Copies of this chain bind each other. A is one copy, B any other.
């Protein structure tokens, strides 16, 4: 019995609907021609906070009791979850205590602050992050909202695929999402398997951070020890709940190198006029690097987010961009 059901995802979709965007599904004839198949892009880069993470964060905060909300929420994150949780908390009248490693980029710090999150910095180690969060939870009574290893988070992220499958009207042959912690892939797998049992479901993972692939192949959960990839959103270890779902419901994990990721990212920027982060572009790379497999298929891919630090792009190294 899995930790998340399609009913959980359906309920999450109703719960978060007033707070998140129903994001558009776009496509590009030119990219279809290049790929030799039909690709629909579900644009979660256009979601609140610029990432699907807004879905899970709202789903989690909306299920707190009044007493819990009064004490706030806390998490440790250097990325999109921190911003999403800060936004969800502030809109629901709740305080967000965010622990960030002291090497977090100025752009990410600014994002969390702009959504009202209260930041505590700590050393850039997992041990220091966890210790700092626990100390905050103890001091304030705030509820810990983890970034992916949680049924509420997985159900929330699964609403992106639920929406996507409705928007594409049962026409997809194949669904691909990035896999980092596994919230999006796990939730998508539950939604996809329930709504279209014959759908093929893949995760796309950087070969420099291939813990989900290794775990999937061996059938045993393995942590990510020394990630080395441009896709900063996919460097984390896949969660244990997430891995259980993925190993039960997903068909395979496709590995991509950084060069393919940057090429796909450039294509999306220049041809679709969409700002996506490397962790998003990996799903297009998965198709473009496996043309024979996808030839003539109708492939749905989820662009997970668009939060790039414009000054840190691979083609713009060392140049400062006036972020607002």
- A residues whose Cβ falls under 8 Å from a Cβ of B: 21, 24, 26, 29-30, 45-46, 48, 50, 114, 263, 266-267, 269-276, 306-307, 310, 315-316, 319-324
Contact = CB atoms under 8 A, between A and B. Distances in A.
Contacts of A26: 21, 24, 46
Given A274-B274, A275-B274, A310-B269, A319 B319 contact: yes
B324 A266 contact: yes
Contacts of A276: 273
Identical chains in the assembly: 2
Contacts of A271: 50, 324
24 contacts: A24-B24, A24-B26, A29-B48, A30-B114, A46-B272, A46-B273, A266-B321, A266-B324, A267-B324, A269-B275, A270-B310, A270-B323, A271-B324, A273-B276, A274-B275, A275-B275, A310-B315, A315-B319, A315-B321, A315-B322, A316-B316, A316-B319, A316-B321, A319-B319
A270 B29 contact: no
Contacts of A274: 46, 273-275
A305 to B, nearest CB: 8
